[in-house]
Amino acid sequence: MDQPYSGLRIIDLGGELSAYASRLFANLGAEVIMVELPGGRSDRHLPSPSLVPGYGGAEFAFTNAGKQSVTIDWASPKGWIVLEKILKRSEIVFLESDAIELLPKILGVPGGRIITATSHFGLKGPYQAYAGNDLVAQAMGGLAWLSGTPGLPPLKVPAEQTRFITSAYAAAATAIALWDLEMKGQGHVIDVSAQECVAHSLQNAPQVWDLEHKVLSRGGEGIRDATEDVFACRGGYVFLAAALSLPASWNGIVDWMMREGHPGADRLLEADWQDRGLRATAPMKLEFKELFEGFLADKHRSEVLEVALRRKIAMAPVSDISDIPNDPQLLFRDFFVDLPHPAFGRSVRFPGAPYRFSEPVWRITHAAPRIGEHNTQILSASDEAARRAYDAS
Amino acid sequence: MRPDFLAGLRVVDLTWAGAGPFATKVFSDFGAEVIKVESTTRADPVRLGAPFKDGVAGLNRSGYFASRNTRKKSISLNLKIAEAQEAVRELIRHADVISNNFGPGAMDRLGLSYDEVRAIKPDIIYLAMPMYGETGPLSGLLGVGMTISAVTGFTSLTGYSDGPPLGPGTHYPDHAANPYHAAFAVLAALRLRRRTGRGMKIDLSQVESTLNFLGIPLTGAAISGKAATRNGNRSEVHAPYNVFRCRGDDEWCAIAVTSDKQWNDLTSILGRSDLGEDENLKRASGRLHRIDDVESAVASWTLRRTSSEVVTELQRAGIAAGMVQHSRTLIEDDPQLRSRGYWQHLDHPEIGQVTLNSPPYLMDGERVELVRPPLIGEHTDELLANVAGYSAERIQRLRELGAIEDPPVV
């Protein structure tokens, strides 16, 4: 089966910020070749409880599945010759960290291509040389500010989101630039800033400052409806959204409480609960929390889910990571992929495709490679000799 | 630059609210003609979502809407009327992509199921973005972005280690995972169509898409058998790695020490050679074991400095540190964003000047120049005439039938 990016070659000199971007291309048919220095690229060495030398840990396994790996010391003259040879046959190059130094040389390689450089703050500007990582990018990009409890520290969004946000933007921008290259023959250089990507993911916070001169606070005081929150129930927590803009949800909650004879229903029918502004204030949030958690105290979250479905209330269980593999919807849709993984000596259960096409064009062909796994396969005999000569020197 | 990379492509866009319009904005910003099919009587909720110019609500006054719908065109129709549905089908006949983010069954009720659309335009790319997918026992579950956070684990993992789950403070999946996965999928389908002539349907379950942004803890749990739990801002493997209070009102900074050398340098900056010489703290594992001691030493130092002073000093030593910024500091103070021309100020007929984020990259060293979003129904007649090929008489007839919903005269 022809895949969307079949026949496309990507040279991946990236790292943690772009690893997921090039993986998106790999799973749709592109040949993605990670070119690593002999010690392995930086994201192989990220400390992780699951780290396997030569392979990397869970992070590397997830973000590099379906790619190939060759080792070339591209900083040496001979290594550059080898790299240049495979670059000539490429349409896309991802650059990150030290490999960004290669940009001027790659621009001199014949043939049009897309060069996507990812960095924490961009390739120019006063913070260009600042050290960055996920926590710092979420802080400097404004995302951490928006989560947490007033009076306590702002909170990052978990699980290294800077890498995913940056990769998602980098992948979309690269695909658009590739369209232009293939339609008009025009190559492009894309300078992706992780800080800017994070700052692009702040919902309406910049516009609230721009038009109303208010800084949104964590906790959503004055913005989030009293119902838009996490509530304790038996067996865990549920999340509810029943603002007045979701009338089926709000009416469903009130009706559910009435039918069960809960006294809180009468209170929710009073006039102040029809006032959108009041509903976003701290006292009404607190009142609703106490009232609704009292109502839910004897209800298990599985029962709450069943009611949500039946009554069309926007309400769902708060799942832990350990719940996800047993999610009935995901199991029904056969979401997960069991990928044989030599690093771990068995199959590893991966999240499946982020999107489903009506033709089977998405697939993970193989696990993230060990360092240099595809040297022989990809580098021609002469290139291999050049590489060995260098390695021996 | 005002790019025309995608010129010649046409999207009939029925998405609304957050994630869908953010996905199709990627296309309009690069020159595709994105036709936003709207209704004045059942408007995109984000048109009615704050903030508004001067705090006064109005269909064309939302800054939130402006930020998600640049360079699009708007046609305003009442899709309950058959002639309006026929007009949409006529637009689809001349389109490359049709997009929606309704729940399962809604497009069927409009006569716009994949099979029906394919009968009109056999090579169409059909993007559907329901919350939990189109099939399965929970496909009928309703929700918003925060609901997606709840069922995927984002809510559970966001919170202080000794407190309840809090979740991201925004509808986070709407602003990152889902729009850009959707845009990427459509671009891939278009490329395949260019080579094969075949269209495709894309079923993007927003839950499945979001779970890929949690690939690290999910894969980690599959490998180790140990599921991650919420841990504030701390790291499992680095220390100190946290957000610390600084001098001033609600001022904070992030500090992330990721090597033992950085720790040694940090103790010099803190003036705490006792900690630097402590053998038990020379490795991250030892610092994690005594995390409270380590963090309190950092916190007592940051508390006497502004976040900017902290960051300047630590960055000079090569230690990753950053101010915890918010919308005001990002727009008004941040020298990096200013020097890169990140914020664009557009003129809008009803809002006046509106400040919007640029796409978060420079393309060939230049910003992608934004074009203001459409007023509701601004392009109704133009699109019916030029794309659907309707005569003036036919457009008038649609108006008489109520199939066209002209915006209320203010």
pLDDT at A308 over 50: yes
Query: Residue A193's Cα: distance from chain center in Å?
Result: 15
E strands along B57-128, which residues? 73-76, 97-100, 125-128
Phi-psi domain of A375 (left: phi exceeds 0; alpha: psi -120 through 50; beta: other): alpha
To the nearest whole Å, the CA of B382 is away from the closest chain A CA by 27
Phi/psi at B238 (5° precision) = -120, 150
CA angle B84, B86, B90 (to 5 degrees): 115
> Residue type for A190, please?
I
**Tens-place pLDDT, residues A1-37:** 699 999 999 999 999 999 999 999 999 999 999 999 9
pLDDT at A392 over 60: no
Interface contact flag, B242 A153, Cβ < 8 Å: yes
Tell me which chain A residues have a C-beta less than 8 angstroms from the C-beta of B320.
Answer: 130-133, 135-136
pLDDT-based confidence at A319, cuts 50/70/90? very high
Residue B80 class from Cβ within 10 Å (0-12 exposed, 13-18 middle, 19+ buried)? middle
Domains present along chain B, CATH in parentheses: 10-213+371-401 (3.40.50.10540), 241-332 (3.30.1540.10)
A20 against A389, higher pLDDT = A20
Mutating which of A176, A338, A346, A348 best tests the B interface, going by the most B Cβ atoms within 10 A? A176
Phi/psi at A347 (5° precision) = -80, 145
> Residue type for A334, please?
D
**Tens-place pLDDT, residues A88-130:** 999 999 999 999 999 999 999 999 999 999 999 999 999 999 9
Annotation marks residue B265 as catalytic: no
- Do the beta carbons of residue B362 and residue B337 sit within 8 Å? no
Mutating which of B127, B190, B336 best tests the A interface, going by the most A Cβ atoms within 10 A? B336
To the nearest whole Å, the CA of A392 is away from the closest chain B CA by 31
Residue B397 class from Cβ within 10 Å (0-12 exposed, 13-18 middle, 19+ buried)? middle
pLDDT at A388: 65
**Tens-place pLDDT, residues A371-381:** 999 999 998 75
pLDDT at A379: 86
List % helix, strand, coil for chain A (3-state, nearest 5): 40, 15, 40
Give me the residue from B135, B143, B284 closest to A316, CB to CB. B143
Interface contact flag, A329 B53, Cβ < 8 Å: no
> Residue type for A55, please?
Y
pLDDT at A221: 76
Tell me which chain A residues have a C-beta less than 8 angstroms from the C-beta of B198.
Answer: 359
The answer for residues whose C-beta is within 8 angstroms of residue A326's C-beta and 6 or more apart is none
Q: Which two tokens stand for residue B6?
A: 């995608």
Interface contact flag, B244 A153, Cβ < 8 Å: yes
pLDDT-based confidence at A270, cuts 50/70/90? very high
* Residue position matching structure tokens 């019916």: B384
Tell me which chain B residues have a C-beta less than 8 angstroms from the C-beta of A181.
Answer: none
Q: Which residues of chain B have pLDDT under 70?
A: 410
To the nearest whole Å, the CA of A223 is away from the closest chain B CA by 9
**Tens-place pLDDT, residues B24-41:** 999 999 999 999 999 999
Choosing from B13, B44, B96, B174, which is the catalytic residue?
A: B174
Q: Which two tokens stand for residue A148?
A: 């947490």
The answer for residues whose C-beta is within 8 angstroms of residue A369's C-beta and 6 or more apart is A34, A64, A67, A68, A69
- Do the beta carbons of residue B358 and residue A213 sit within 8 Å? no
Q: Is the CB of B246 inside 8 Å of chain A's CB atoms?
A: no
To the nearest whole Å, the CA of A14 is away from the closest chain B CA by 16
Interface contact flag, A204 B6, Cβ < 8 Å: no
pLDDT at A217: 86
A393/A95 Cα distance (integer angstroms): 27
Give the whole-number percent of chain A exceeding pLDDT 70. Answer: 96
pLDDT at A391: 60
pLDDT at B383: 98
CA-based R_g, chain A, Å? 25
- Do the beta carbons of residue A193 and residue A132 sit within 8 Å? no
A219/A199 Cα distance (integer angstroms): 19
Tell me which chain B residues have a C-beta less than 8 angstroms from the C-beta of A211.
Answer: 51-55, 63, 351, 354
Residue B347 class from Cβ within 10 Å (0-12 exposed, 13-18 middle, 19+ buried)? exposed
Query: How does DSSP assign A351-363, residue by residue?
Result: ---SSEESSS---
Using DSSP, state whether B270 is helix, strand or coil: helix
Domains present along chain A, CATH in parentheses: 9-201+336-392 (3.40.50.10540), 229-322 (3.30.1540.10)
B229/B242 Cα distance (integer angstroms): 16
Give me the residue from B220, B235, B336 closest to A195, CB to CB. B336
Q: Which two tokens stand for residue A58?
A: 């869970």
* Residue B70 to residues B6, B65, B176, B208, B380, Cα–Cα distance (Å): 15, 9, 17, 27, 17
Interface contact flag, A317 B354, Cβ < 8 Å: no
The answer for residues whose C-beta is within 8 angstroms of residue A323's C-beta and 6 or more apart is A317, B153
End-to-end Cα, chain A, rounded Å: 45
Tell me which chain B residues have a C-beta less than 8 angstroms from the C-beta of A204.
Answer: 49-51, 63-64, 67
Taking residues A290-306, report their average pLDDT: 96
DSSP run (H or E) holding A349: strand A346-350
pLDDT at A197: 98
To the nearest whole Å, the CA of B320 is away from the closest chain A CA by 5
Q: Is the CB of B358 inside 8 Å of chain A's CB atoms?
A: yes
- In the beta sheet, which residues pair with residue B76? B38
**Tens-place pLDDT, residues A189-233:** 999 999 999 999 999 999 999 999 999 989 787 789 999 999 999
pLDDT at B167: 97
Give me the residue from A49, A146, A305 closest to B236, CB to CB. A49
Tell me which chain A residues have a C-beta less than 8 angstroms from the C-beta of B341.
Answer: none
Mutating which of A230, A355, A356 best tests the B interface, going by the most B Cβ atoms within 10 A? A355
pLDDT at A393: 44
B238/B291 Cα distance (integer angstroms): 10
* Residue A241 to residues A216, A251, B84, B205, B210, Cα–Cα distance (Å): 19, 12, 32, 19, 19
pLDDT at A383: 66
- Do the beta carbons of residue A146 and residue A157 sit within 8 Å? no
B367/B362 Cα distance (integer angstroms): 5
pLDDT-based confidence at A264, cuts 50/70/90? very high
Query: How does DSSP classify residue A43?
Result: G
pLDDT at B410: 61
Give the whole-number percent of chain A exceeding pLDDT 90. Answer: 92
Does this model's pTM top 0.95? My answer is yes
**ipTM metric:** 0.98
